Amino acid sequence: MWALCLGALIIIGITHWVYRWRNPSCNGKLPPGSMGLPLLGETLQFFSPNTSSDIPPFIKQRMKRYGQIFKTNLVGRPVVISTDPDLNYFIFQQEGQVFQSWYPDTFTEIFGRQNVGSLHGFMYKYLKNMVLNLFGPESLKRMISEVEQTACATLQKWSCQNSVELKESTARMIFDLTAKKLVSYDSTKSSENLRDNFVAFIQGLISFPLDVPGTAYHKCLQGRKRAMKMLKNILQERRGMHKKEQTDFFDHVIEELKKEGTILTEAIALDLMFVLLFASFETTSLALTFSIKLLSDHPLALKQLQEEHEAILKRREDPNSGVTWKEYKSMTFTFQVINETVRLANIVPGIFRKALREINFKGYTIPKGWAVMVCPPAVHLNPAKYHDPLAFNPWRWEGVEKNGASKHFMAFGGGMRFCVGTDFTKVQMAIFLHSLVTKCRWRPIKGGNIVRTPGLQFPNGFHVQIMEKDQRK
């Protein structure tokens, strides 16, 4: 009898728990949607791979069923997903007041608990200003020749090979340049390979968060641990040196750490270096590979790009001089290609925030503490804003200035957390494309197919043959 009563109580308890999971309490009207299975939510569906260039099926199906704003549960956390331009704009504009940056615990484990994306208020602004000293326009003006030299040397090396896998090769090129500027790291002189740890890290970054040996997520965490150990060793070694002038970003960080009353800690500094190294090369190499794939498939766009850069060479008094800042700023069609590439690439599939208080928007209530995910692909592939949204059409950006974010373009984030590395990314892409189309031609060999999980990947790479142009013609 007691066993029956106990069994009934357990069943009632589980039933109540499942009901509460599927029907969270709220003072108003929650957005429509499903919370999925207890504990798992809809995490598996969200991470499910797909080969579509369209809005991710997970999002598109729910938009069709529930509308532009809906609820779900990811990694055990209730989330409101927004594909509504008005709500997205409101979220970005109310940073620090109504919303604050937030990412799932798994992301925090990967990027570090003191990473710049998890910091708020004065501390975030302080770090942002530090980074702008490295990646701001004045620094980039001085860096542009080094970016061009790196691109030219890399292309010359590639032209001696029968086949180059672009995603891996551009990532290595950008990582070496960025690591040099950040920590004076030289892969040819180091006994340990810093980038290998980031490769392991990337493979598990957007995967199901199961920390068990053999899983991609576990390898990701191990890669982070090794990379952080290397960065800490570099920091400790650098602290023992007496340098008269700053030569890289780490020197600037060390000077900040030495200041009396500084708010910068070693943990924050190391997490910052880790995030900068990752963000600077992984996203840019994906965008650059994708742009070359798109140009390969669209000869008219490639022809106009070549004409723009050949015209730059013809206007020079000295044809062998490097790209100037004025020339860089004149690359109008190049920037149209970059904008269209990042619009279609949707490298960042979701931007997360957390509600600091209860919010009412368009008749729906977002409870305090809930996560909100802005969905850039739904904005960038909206047929109401972009005609034939899946088509690569750089000309759609003609006469459109896009130096920041808007309701309909958020490839580099938005609001006060607009990506501080945006200008650095554009410089690298534009200068590489300039070097590529003026000095080389290329022929796709194999690969180029994409998979989203939900982030962009090239599972089979994109293999091309690079050939130097005959400069006498």
Instruction: Look up residue 443 and give its DSSP letter.
Output: E
Distance of CA 240 to the CA centre of its chain: 34
Q: What is the per-residue pLDDT across 360-392, written as a single tens digit (0 to 9) for each?
A: 999 999 999 999 999 999 999 999 999 999 999
Domain boundaries, the chain: 24-113+348-380
Report cis status (omega within 30 of 0) of the bond before 454: yes
Closest CA to 248 of 146, 360, 374: 146
Q: How many CB atoms lie within 10 A of CB 143?
A: 18
Residue 132 CB burial class (10 angstroms; 0-12, 13-18, ≥19):
middle
Do 76 and 209 meet the contact criterion of CB atoms below 8 Å apart? no
Instruction: Give the contacts of 375 (CB within 8 A, at least 6 positions apart).
Output: 55, 59, 81, 82, 83, 349, 350
Q: Nearest to residue 433, comparing CAs of 315, 304, 314, 251? A: 304
> What is the model's pLDDT at position 16?
43
- Residue 137: partners with Cβ closer than 8 Å, 6 or more residues away: 423
Q: How far apart are CA 90 and CA 112, in angstroms?
A: 28
> CA–CA separation, 416 vs 405, rounded Å?
10
CB neighbour list of residue 267: distance below 8 Å, 6 or more residues apart? 112, 114
Residue 250 near residue 179 (C-beta atoms within 8 A) = no
Bridge partners, 354 (sequence order): 100, 371
Q: Residue 403: exposed, middle, or buried by beta-carbon count in 10 A (0-12, 13-18, 19+)? A: exposed
In CATH, what is the architecture of 24-113+348-380? 2-Layer Sandwich (3.30)
Supply the DSSP symbol for 409. Answer: B
Torsion over CA of 54, 107, 256 and 171, rounded to 10 degrees? -50
Which parts of the chain sit beneath pLDDT 50?
A: 16-19, 116, 119, 472-473
> Would you say 419 is a known binding-site residue?
yes
The pLDDT value recorded for residue 463 is: 97
420, 135 Cβ separation under 8 angstroms: yes
The span from the CA of 287 to the CA of 206, in Å, is: 17
Alpha-carbon span 231 to 274, nearest angstrom: 8
Rg (CA), the chain: 24
Q: Which 3 state secondary structure label does DSSP give 456? A: strand
Q: Which residues are bridge partners to 413 per DSSP?
A: none
Question: In angstroms, rounded to a whole number, what is the distance separating the alpha carbons of residues 37 and 44?
Answer: 10
DSSP state string for 352-397: EEEESS-EEETTEEE-TT-EEEE-HHHHHT-TTTSSSTTS--GGGG
The Cβ-side half-sphere exposure at 295, using a 13 Å CA radius, reads 24
The pLDDT assigned to 417 comes to 61
Cβ-count burial of 354 within 10 angstroms (0-12 exposed, 13-18 middle, 19+ buried)?
A: middle
Q: Which residues pair with 366 in a beta bridge?
A: 359
